[in-house]
A and B are shown apart, each in its own frame.
Chain A
Amino acid sequence: MDAKEIIARRVARELRDNTLVNLGIGLPTLVARYVPEGMLVAFQSENGIIGFGARPPEGMEDPNLTDAGGGFISALPGAFAFDSATSFALIRGGHLDMTVLGGLQVDAKGRLANWKVPGRMVAGMGGAMDLVAGAKRVVVAMQHAAKGEAKIVPELTLPPTAARPVSLVVTDLAVIEPTADGLVLRERAPGVAVEEILAATAAPLILPDTIPEMPL
């Protein structure tokens, strides 16, 4: 199982029946593949639809039906399409149960940075600032480190996406929960030792008595 699949499978276990969930572009999109059997999750795409499905077969795409990354999608029976103001009213208004976002950095306070690397890359925040400010739960799905450089750091060095801390961080090595006392190491990936996680993490981690392997 590769790093992305570990992350997507573990995040999928955070899904709950009959909820509205927004998946960010990239890695978070993979979570939709691992919805537990029999569970009904409505996925929102911020560009204006709830209840979308997989890309249609070649030649059956609709140019007016795409996801937030511009890829073709399908509309499931019962889907609802809407404008951008409605989409973000759903996100900010407490109607979105969970969002899954990619991350460049998370710090000891649980703050996320994911939209700009000053001097190198300016993507823009798109919907990320609204999602972190408004969703009931914010789950960050990201690689634990980038090219050997820690992404979980004592204090953000990149511009923050919001002041509000995220709810959970899922990486290819660990599940980490930001709390008022600091970052708590909740789970480790199969076969990964606590020491390995500590070595790849720049921020201090609180270690409970038991740190089980993550269920996948």
Chain B
Amino acid sequence: MRRKALTPAEAAALVPDGASVMIGGFLGVGSPRRVIDALVARGAKGLTVIGNDTGRPDLGIGKLVSAGCVAKVIVSHIGTNPVTQQKMLAGEMEVDLVPQGTLAERIRAGGAGLGGVLTPTGLGTSVAEGKQVVTVDGRDFLLETPLRADVALLHCYEADYYANLTYRLTAQNFNPVMAMAADIVIAEPDEVVPIGVIPPDHVRTPGILVTHLVERPQ
């Protein structure tokens, strides 16, 4: 299906207050910066944000935290954002810490129709509290449940007007797994190219997964 590219503000209007939102990126690299700015500008409220980290106070998911758009984060790391730590200690924001590899696999499971994943990560730590331990061939694993979200906000390198996506270098990170795990999937490209320009082997996220495309930077 051909898609008309939206402005970042139009894309941000698709994210309801209180929604669960997956946001790609690692310390802001590979995060959809223009849509994040538009969410801040719109004054989004009560979001549950799922991502690798909360960036820095003026970077990536950190911008949403600083602007008070976020009620809860599910992330692997908050060490680079003192505002997250302050809001967590003040009880203004809930923080659920998940090991990075477990986070990736829970999202993958959510998008792949799996009932969960079994991982050795977290055994013998606070991560294991309240979780089922499953023994397979004599080895213990933690049962980790799938994660899905109402919306996924992705950054990509190129998109065509079918919303086939390519990524670049370390800006891929969580974007490809998140593309599979949300009901509304919005992709923010650095460049939009005509259909047919991206060779089939180079498409990392097929357009059938992407519900909305954001225009190229002006």
A contacts, CB < 8 Å to B: 45-49, 62-70, 75, 81-85, 87-89, 91-92, 111, 121-130, 133-134, 159-164
The answer to whether A124 and B105 touch across the interface, beta carbons within 8 angstroms, is no
A-B CB contact pairs (8 Å), 17 listed: A45-B170, A47-B173, A48-B173, A70-B29, A70-B80, A82-B172, A83-B172, A83-B173, A84-B101, A85-B176, A122-B78, A123-B79, A124-B77, A129-B99, A130-B101, A163-B123, A163-B125
The answer to whether B171 and A64 touch across the interface, beta carbons within 8 angstroms, is yes
Q: How far is the CA of A62 from the CA of B103 in the complex (A)?
A: 27
Q: Which of B30, B79, B100, B171 contacts A127 (CB 8 A)?
A: B100
The answer to whether A85 and B105 touch across the interface, beta carbons within 8 angstroms, is yes
The answer to whether B125 and A127 touch across the interface, beta carbons within 8 angstroms, is no
Smallest distance from the beta carbon of B1 to chain A beta carbons, Å? Answer: 25
Residue from A47, A87, A91, A127 having most chain B Cβ neighbours under 10 A: A47
The answer to whether A124 and B157 touch across the interface, beta carbons within 8 angstroms, is no
Q: Which of B75, B108, B120, B169 contacts A75 (CB 8 A)?
A: B169
Q: How far is the CA of A82 from the CA of B177 in the complex (A)?
A: 11
Q: How far is the CA of A67 from the CA of B26 in the complex (A)?
A: 9
Smallest distance from the beta carbon of A208 to chain B beta carbons, Å? Answer: 29
Which chain A residue shows the least CB distance to B171?
A64
Smallest distance from the beta carbon of A113 to chain B beta carbons, Å? Answer: 9
Q: Which residues of B contact A92 (CB under 8 A)?
A: 101, 119-121
0 or 1 for each of B158-190: is its CB under 8 Å from A? (1 = yes): 000000000111111111110000000000000
Q: Which residues of A contact B121 (CB under 8 A)?
A: 92, 129-130, 133-134, 162
Ranked 10 nearest A-B pairs via Cβ: A163-B124, A88-B101, A123-B79, A130-B101, A124-B77, A64-B171, A70-B27, A129-B99, A126-B77, A84-B104
0 or 1 for each of B4-40: is its CB under 8 Å from A? (1 = yes): 0000000000000000000000111110000000000
Q: How far is the CA of A149 from the CA of B28 in the complex (A)?
A: 36
The answer to whether A160 and B76 touch across the interface, beta carbons within 8 angstroms, is no
Q: Which of B88, B104, B126, B168 contacts A85 (CB 8 A)?
A: B104
Smallest distance from the beta carbon of B102 to chain A beta carbons, Å? Answer: 7
Which chain B residue shows the least CB distance to A90?
B101
The answer to whether A64 and B100 touch across the interface, beta carbons within 8 angstroms, is no
Q: How far is the CA of A48 from the CA of B173 in the complex (A)?
A: 6
Q: Which residues of B contact A91 (CB under 8 A)?
A: 101
Q: Which residues of A contact B174 (CB under 8 A)?
A: 83-84
B contacts, CB < 8 Å to A: 26-30, 52-53, 75-80, 85, 88, 95, 97, 99-105, 107-108, 119-127, 157, 167-177, 204
Which chain B residue shows the least CB distance to A75?
B169
Given contacts A92-B101, A127-B101, A129-B122, contact A49 B53 (CB under 8 A): no
The answer to whether B53 and A124 touch across the interface, beta carbons within 8 angstroms, is yes
Q: How far is the CA of A89 from the CA of B117 in the complex (A)?
A: 12
Given A66-B26, A122-B97, 20 new contacts (CB under 8 A): A47-B29, A48-B169, A63-B29, A63-B171, A64-B30, A66-B29, A66-B170, A83-B167, A85-B177, A92-B119, A122-B88, A124-B76, A125-B99, A126-B79, A127-B100, A129-B99, A133-B119, A133-B121, A159-B125, A160-B124
Given contacts A81-B169, A92-B101, A124-B78, contact A64 B157 (CB under 8 A): yes
Q: Which residues of B contact A127 (CB under 8 A)?
A: 76, 99-101
The answer to whether A124 and B75 touch across the interface, beta carbons within 8 angstroms, is yes
Given contacts A62-B169, A122-B85, A123-B79, contact A130 B100 (CB under 8 A): yes
Given contacts A64-B29, A123-B79, contact A130 B172 (CB under 8 A): no
Residue from B88, B104, B121, B123 having most chain A Cβ neighbours under 10 A: B121
